[in-house]
C-alpha cells in the first residue's frame, strides 16, 4: 500500500488572505466585464476559493461590489503633486500606469445594474468629486470639478471602453497633448 490518498494538499486557512484574493479577482472581473456579466463563481474561481465564501464574507454580490469600490477609489495621490503640472501628471498616470483606469471602467460597465449604479454614484460623489472640488478651490470649484470629470470620463471611455481608430495606442500622442492642455486650463482657471 503506497499510502492513504492525499485528499487535499492541506490548504492553509487564512480569512484575510481569502478576502483580499476575492477582492482582487472582483476588481479584475468587474472592471473588464462589469457587474452583471461577472458571475460569483467566476470571481471565486479566479481567486482560487470556494464560491460560497463570497456570500460568507461579503453578504451578496452587491456587497462585494461595494467593498471592491471602497478599496480602489482613492484620488488623493493625484492631489499632492505640483499644481502647475496637474495636466501632464494626470495624463501620465492614466496613460502609462497599468490599469489606472480600472475603477472608472468598472463603474461605467456596471452602470446598467441599478444596485451597482447607486453604489458607484455614491462613492464617486463622496470620494472623488468632493475632494477634487475642495482641492481646486474657488471660483466655481464644483463646476470645474464636473468639467474635469467630463473630460476624463470621456477620454477613458473613448479609449478603453469604446476604442475607435483615431484613439488607437499608436496615434494617441496628439490627443494626449490636447488633453493635458484642456485639463490644465480648468485647473488654472482660478489663478487667471
Partner DNA sequence: GAGGCATGTACACGGTTGTTTACTTACGCC
Partner DNA sequence: GGCGTAAGTAAACAACCGTGTACATGCCTC
In the complex, least distance from residue 105 CB atom to DNA, rounded to whole angstroms: 18
Nearest-CA neighbor of 73 among 106, 96, 98?
106
Environment class of residue 151 by beta-carbon count within 10 Å: exposed (0-12), middle (13-18) or buried (19+)? Answer: middle
Shortest Å distance, C-beta 84 to a copy of itself: 21
Q: Of 50-69, which residues contact DNA (CB under 7 A)? A: 50-56, 60-62
Residue 75 within binding range of a copy of itself, rule CB under 8 A: no
The reply to whether 123 sits near a copy of itself by the rule CB under 8 A is no
146 binds a copy of itself (CB under 8 A): yes
Maximum Cα interatomic distance, the chain, rounded to a whole number of Å? 85
What cell does 64 get? 462585494
Q: Which of 6, 46, 38, 39 is nearest to 22 (CA)?
A: 46
Choose from DNA, a copy of itself, none: what does 118 bind? Cβ within 5-8 Å by kind: none
Given DNA, a copy of itself, none, residue 71, with its beta carbon under 5 to 8 Å by kind, binds none
Binder of a copy of itself out of 112, 134, 137, 188 (CB under 8 A): 112
Report the nearest approach of DNA to the CB of residue 22 (Å).
9
How far is CA 140 from its chain centroid? 26
Amino acid at each position: 500500500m503506497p499510502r492513504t490518498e492525499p485528499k487535499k494538499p492541506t490548504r492553509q486557512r487564512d480569512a484575510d488572505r481569502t478576502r483580499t484574493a476575492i477582492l482582487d479577482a472582483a476588481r479584475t472581473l468587474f472592471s473588464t466585464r462589469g457587474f452583471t456579466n461577472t458571475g460569483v463563481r467566476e470571481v471565486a474561481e479566479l481567486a482560487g476559493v470556494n464560491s460560497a465564501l463570497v456570500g460568507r464574507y461579503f453578504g451578496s454580490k452587491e456587497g462585494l461590489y461595494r467593498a471592491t469600490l471602497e478599496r480602489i477609489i482613492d484620488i488623493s495621490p493625484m492631489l499632492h503633486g505640483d499644481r502647475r503640472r496637474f495636466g501632464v501628471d494626470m495624463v501620465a498616470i492614466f496613460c502609462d500606469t497599468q490599469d489606472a483606469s480600472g475603477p472608472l471602467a468598472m463603474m461605467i460597465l456596471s452602470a446598467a445594474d441599478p444596485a451597482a449604479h447607486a453604489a458607484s454614484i455614491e462613492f464617486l460623489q463622496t470620494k472623488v468629486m468632493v475632494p477634487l472640488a475642495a482641492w481646486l478651490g474657488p471660483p466655481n470649484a464644483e463646476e470645474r470639478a464636473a468639467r474635469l470629470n467630463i473630460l476624463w470620463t470621456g477620454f477613458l471611455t473613448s479609449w478603453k471602453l469604446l476604442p475607435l481608430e483615431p484613439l488607437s495606442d499608436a496615434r494617441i500622442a496628439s490627443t494626449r497633448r490636447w488633453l493635458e492642455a484642456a485639463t490644465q486650463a480648468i485647473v488654472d482657471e482660478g489663478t487667471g
